[in-house]
Amino acid sequence: AVDNAAAADGAMGGWIDGVEYGHWDKLWFRTVPGLKLSMLWLSTFFHGRHSAEGVLIDDIAVSEHPFSRHVDGQAALVRPGDERLQVNGRVGFHGDIAEIYWPGSSFTIKCAGPEVRAKLKDEHGFNYFNVIVDDSLVRVLRIDTVEKEYVLATGLSARPHTVELAKRADWFRGKTWFYGFGLAPGASVFPMAAPKRRIEFYGNSITVGAAVEDTRGDSGDSTYTNNYASYGAIAARHYHAGYSCID
């Protein structure tokens, strides 16, 4: 955004491993749209003896939106409507709550912190969700009919990770209400880029991925349905596209 020419209202902050080391406000960055920021310059200035290893820097994130900051060491709940999250599928929003209905609908967060949780409630208790960490399936959750928190991932390293929560089964299993991702104190959230392509699939049980994990027959039990393993979801991931499935 262009700063107010009449007042210095810009701000800048810096974090290392989720800890804020600097916050500066009352700054002017630019007052005309023709001036563009084109370079990030990292430099160290140290009076003393340098180590043989020097300074090692990796996993740098730069954003036009503020990163997550936690006050007084309190854990944070990142709401479904937070613009830093990536959302797939046709999802309804009712205030701070997301209503998940169609198969393959998902929420993904990119964050740095030791643990990620999710607060959920299911209409009938028949819905299952994949938990995908850094593009690998780590567990399957069955959601209860009472609102509660579920641990999605724990023991994560300090670097940023992506954690995705994706509905596995058909629409007729009922609705699931998603209240947000829970993070540990000191965790950071990073904005995720929107996909350049979007693909929407219309179909039937094959498109849903019904019984795709049933090796003994064609069971209608939702435990064997996995939309993430359907041809549509695989195609969307191959093309790095946003994904939506209507059955």
SS3 content of the chain, % helix, strand, coil (to 5): 10, 40, 55
pTM tops 0.85: no
Cβ distance 129 to 167 under 8 Å? yes
86 residue type, one letter: Q
User: One digit per residue, pLDDT tens: the chain, 247 residues?
Assistant: 555 666 777 777 776 665 667 777 778 777 777 777 777 777 766 666 766 666 677 666 666 655 554 434 556 899 999 999 999 999 999 999 999 999 999 999 999 999 999 999 999 999 999 999 999 999 999 999 999 999 999 999 989 999 999 999 999 999 999 999 999 988 999 999 889 999 999 999 999 999 898 888 776 667 889 999 999 999 999 999 999 999 8
Cβ distance 101 to 95 under 8 Å? no
- Tell me: the pLDDT tens digits for 181-232? 999 988 999 999 889 999 999 999 999 999 898 888 776 667 889 999 999 9
Q: Give the DSSP H/E element, type plus range, for residue 236.
A: helix 231-238
Beta strands in 67-126 (DSSP E): 76-78, 86-88, 92-94, 97-100, 106-112, 115-122
